[in-house]
Structure 1
Amino acid sequence: MIIPYLARIVLLLPELSPTQTDHLADIIEEQKSNGKESERNHILDNRKPCIQVSAELRKKLIQDLFDERTYDKNILPSDNSVEVIVELTVQSITEISEISSSFKADIWFSQIWHDQRLDFRHLNYCLRNLSLAAHKLPNLWTPNVCLVNTKKVTIHTSPSQNILLLVFPNGTVWLNYRISLQGPCQLDLTNFPMDIQQCKLIFESYSYNKAEVRIVWRDWEPISIDNPSTENLPDFTLIHSENKNTTLLYTAGQWDQLEAIFTFRRLYGYYVLQAYMPTYLSVFISWIAFWIDTKALPARITLGVSSLMALTFQFGNIIKNLPRVSYVKALDVWMFGCVGFIFLSLVELAIVGYVDKLDLRKRRVRVREFNFRNHTEPWNMKPTKNDSNNRNIHDNNSSLGTHWSPDYPTRQMQRESFFRRIPSAEEPRKTDGEKIDEISGKTFPMLFIAFNMFYWFYYIGIYRRSIK
């Protein structure tokens, strides 16, 4: 520092004599040599060999650091707010429950802060860090950062409490817990089973507001996954994790909050096999009735009712594992659509039965009218002059044993014409019920295909947009 200072003085001095100039140069050179000597001595001090730490020395160090006369755990490490760095490592995620709207996970959770009172660099010990047992934790000031939104948290004990406590020579404290937790998930089942779900963990200093403790995420990789296979669950996969910093206002002041948000994508292949494929079969089976004879009503009714019962049972089997939400889910839309198609097939069966009943009634009326005309027409004919003559001819030709009437051919033609108007068994025609069955056999599949296109394009589109 003295050399730049002297240089500035030289610029401000008036013109000097040669003798004065030589004297000033000697002063500058002397200060420069003194500075180099001081720097060399400092380097030699840093290279001084460290002191090997024995068990007795380590014990004394711990006693000195946590001496109640010099260390009070009720006093903050700093006069200003203490900055606590939080880091989270996910060891495993085991379950996501729709019934309880929660997820279960095992995590490593770290808190890092600086406590100047625990600085022991001046002792020059050969220690990179001082590892302490969990039972020393009550003797140490901690920021008491906890998970405020979890339903259940347990520190692993295998065989003892899984707590890591490190003190570094500069006074930095690293506190790590291995815990098992049950955290909340904000489940939205509108697009179930093609849905995206989020689960959240919130960290907060329970004992200190932001005026005393500031909690922040670690700058590099604040949330990490220990094992890539952890991201894959039986029915979900973890697609994204993010961290946020927020501030929450309580009655006692403002608190820093750290949010860890996990986004999961449901694997809907299970539901395709267990829900969608059986419903497809139930709908297809209900259509078989369209190709069964309209007179086989018991068989057709059995097919329709069996399909409806199978679909209802399958639907009940699935929703019993879901929460009782008051909004319509994607699976509900599918099930209601399939139930609607089966119900309409039963309605079509009723219409066909009614139409056949009307057709049968009309045929019976025609047959009755024909029988009535056939039996009454010969007795209601009035005798005419020709009939009298015919009778005389008949009397005269009684020896021939035949009866002939000139009007007989005409009446015979009328009867044959009436018989032609009544369809015979040798010339079958399609009844109205059969025509309805034929139309339904084409219309129902076309409508079902249209329903499938709308359903899958809509929900798969939402599913893909949510992933992006």
Structure 2
Amino acid sequence: MTASRLRNASMTIQELFKEYDIRLRPSFGYEPLLLDIEIRLASFDSISEVNMDYTLTLYLNQYWRDERLVFGNKSDEIILTGDIIDKFWLPDTFFPNDKSAYLHDVTEKNKMIRLYGNGDILYGMRFTSTLACMMDLRRYPLDRQNCTIEVESYGYTQADLIMRWKNGRASILDLDKAQFPQFTILDYDTISYGIYLATGVYQRLSLSFILQRNIGYFLFQTYLPSILIVMLSWVSFWINHEATSARVTLGITTVLTMTTISTGVRSSLPRISYVKAIDIYLLMCFVFVFAALLEYAAVNYLYWGKKAKRRKQKCQREKSREKAPNDHELVHIDANRDSPIVGLYSNTSVNRRKLLVTSSDDNRQTNHIIDTQSPRIRPLVRANPALYPSSYNRNQQPRRTRRFINYLRTRTINLRHSIPHVQDVNDIDRWSRLCFPILFLLFNASYWPYYIVRPQKFT
């Protein structure tokens, strides 16, 4: 643009707007307007798993051509800011996945228009936006997320306006300079597609980010403390089993610490129904800690249970010695024997006792048979189901019940005998010192490769 042609810039702008109608888009009534989009990322501010969104600051540049604003060659340009921008036709671009946004206005509104002589227009603005990002947290915090920036025209369909990326993937500028807390940008892609709505078919542009969560923060804040708490619970295996207060205090402390860590992790996550990777790890750590506490409960029960059993057996032996007969008198009870006469029987414990009395004077032994009760006569004819059907049916059910109870008691005794008995309770601690670390190592050897090596699929 030469000085002679733009001797008075204000007069040139006035000439441009004489027959300019802001209400009509460029090329109205002809082919659709081509709108090119370019994004330059300033910074990633934050990301929230609870709200499923992220915040970033970006520069949005839009390019189009308006034949009504031709005033010279392409090399000629006029940069306009302030209120004059509102006198131009501007595309009604919006972000479909936007939750909230604001335009920076320090010291003035961060927006401008660059007008070229051939009618090309560059419309740029700087703003901060909070965009929705539906995250899949099944692998949290060893996860990757796919978050997008979507751009679309609110009112113009594809018949009036076609949006496209200006230079494809090269339309995203300064991506390598952007820093994202807790995340690393692995890759990105630019997509363009049409979306069908009730009011027509609209062109939508999408910028997709693949974000890898950095594990360093969670290693030092969650995983490492959990591992140390589990290892601390193993210290009880080296403490004497008679030190009840020390082992119980250590077990309860580790259990409560794991509960506190789990509560702190859940407070920073949304209330989702599926299980996350960190939930599995914390749950298994809690199981190991709780199992260490239960191990001492088993040791304590076996130790004091055997001691009480030995004490009981000792008391029974002392009582049997006190009840043993002396040298002067011996009571002998005959074996239970039925009478040969049908219907008669003798109860030796009640009916007949043979007393063997030894006299110390003449060293002679005399036998005396004392009948304490006369034999009873029972019916000669045994119970016949045909003669007494009601009584027979009533007696069948209790007999079955008694048989079933006896069967269960027998199986229980056999099962109890089949269980190996621990001779020394210290053996349980010795085996626990070996089994608990091996099982915990096996769990870690399967947990980390599963979530780190196995690829994650995005829908």
TM-score by length of 1: 0.73
Going by fraction, where is strand more abundant, 1 or 2?
2
In structure 2, the partner of 1:458 is: 450
- Which whole-Å CA distance do the structure 1 matches of 2:168 and 2:116 have between them? 20
Query: Per-residue CA shift, 1:17-62, capped at 9, x if unaligned?
Result: xxxxxxxxxxxxxxxxxxxxxxxxxxxxxxxxx6315875211110
The one-letter code matched in structure 2 to 1:183 is: L
SS of the residue 2:186 aligns to: strand
SS of the residue 2:98 aligns to: coil
- Which whole-Å CA distance do the structure 1 matches of 2:139 and 2:228 have between them? 23
Q: 1:259 to 1:227 in 2, by over 3 A?
A: closer
Query: Per-residue CA shift, 1:194-249, capped at 9, x if unaligned?
Result: 1111221111111211111111111254443426342x333111222211111111
In structure 1, the partner of 2:36 is: 85
SS of the residue 1:130 aligns to: strand
SS of the residue 1:432 aligns to: coil
**Residues 169 and 189 in structure 2, CA contact (< 8 A), matched pair in contact too:** no
**Residues 99 and 130 in structure 2, CA contact (< 8 A), matched pair in contact too:** yes
In structure 2, the partner of 1:357 is: 304
The one-letter code matched in structure 2 to 1:142 is: L
Equivalent position to 1:73, from 15, 19, 22: 22
Equivalent position to 1:440, from 414, 421, 432: 432
In structure 2, the partner of 1:167 is: 115
Following superposition, the deviation at residue 305 of structure 1 comes to 0.8
- Which whole-Å CA distance do the structure 1 matches of 2:310 and 2:106 have between them? 88
Following superposition, the deviation at residue 301 of structure 1 comes to 1.2
Matched, 1:158 2:106: yes
Q: How does 1:253-332 map to 2 (within 5 A)?
A: 253-332=200-279
SS of the residue 1:228 aligns to: coil
The one-letter code matched in structure 2 to 1:271 is: F
The one-letter code matched in structure 2 to 1:138 is: D
Following superposition, the deviation at residue 372 of structure 1 comes to 5.7
Following superposition, the deviation at residue 328 of structure 1 comes to 0.3
> Larger deviation: 70-79 or 323-332?
70-79
**Residues 144 and 456 in structure 2, CA contact (< 8 A), matched pair in contact too:** no
SS of the residue 1:332 aligns to: helix
Q: 1:53 to 1:435 in 2, by over 3 A?
A: farther
- Which whole-Å CA distance do the structure 2 matches of 1:381 and 1:140 have between them? 132
- Which whole-Å CA distance do the structure 2 matches of 1:367 and 1:381 have between them? 27
Query: Unpaired runs of 5+ in structure 2?
Result: 331-359, 362-421
**Residues 111 and 145 in structure 1, CA contact (< 8 A), matched pair in contact too:** no
TM-score by length of 2: 0.74
Equivalent position to 1:185, from 129, 133, 137: 133
Q: How does 1:170-249 map to 2 (within 5 A)?
A: 170-226=118-174, 228-230=176-178, 232-249=179-196
**Residues 190 and 330 in structure 1, CA contact (< 8 A), matched pair in contact too:** yes
SS of the residue 2:15 aligns to: helix
Going by fraction, where is helix more abundant, 1 or 2?
1
**Residues 91 and 225 in structure 1, CA contact (< 8 A), matched pair in contact too:** no
In structure 1, the partner of 2:365 is: none
- Which whole-Å CA distance do the structure 1 matches of 2:59 and 2:92 have between them? 16
Query: Unpaired runs of 5+ in structure 1?
Result: 1-49, 389-429
Q: 1:53 to 1:283 in 2, by over 3 A?
A: farther
- Which whole-Å CA distance do the structure 2 matches of 1:435 and 1:108 have between them? 70
**Residues 81 and 212 in structure 1, CA contact (< 8 A), matched pair in contact too:** yes
Give the ranges of 4+ consecutive aligned residues of structure 1 lying more than 4 Å apart after TM superposition.
53-56, 369-383, 464-467
Following superposition, the deviation at residue 258 of structure 1 comes to 0.5
The one-letter code matched in structure 2 to 1:134 is: G
- Which whole-Å CA distance do the structure 2 matches of 1:92 and 1:363 have between them? 75
Q: 1:163 to 1:370 in 2, by over 3 A?
A: same
Matched, 1:119 2:70: yes
In structure 2, the partner of 1:418 is: none
Q: Considering only CA atoms, is the larger Rg found in Structure 1 or Structure 2?
A: 1
Number of aligned residues: 368
**Residues 169 and 190 in structure 2, CA contact (< 8 A), matched pair in contact too:** no
In structure 2, the partner of 1:134 is: 82
Identical positions, percent: 29
The one-letter code matched in structure 1 to 2:250 is: L
**Residues 143 and 207 in structure 1, CA contact (< 8 A), matched pair in contact too:** no
How much is the aligned-residue C-alpha RMSD, in angstroms? 2.7
- Which whole-Å CA distance do the structure 1 matches of 2:115 and 2:327 have between them? 127
SS of the residue 2:10 aligns to: helix
Following superposition, the deviation at residue 357 of structure 1 comes to 2.4
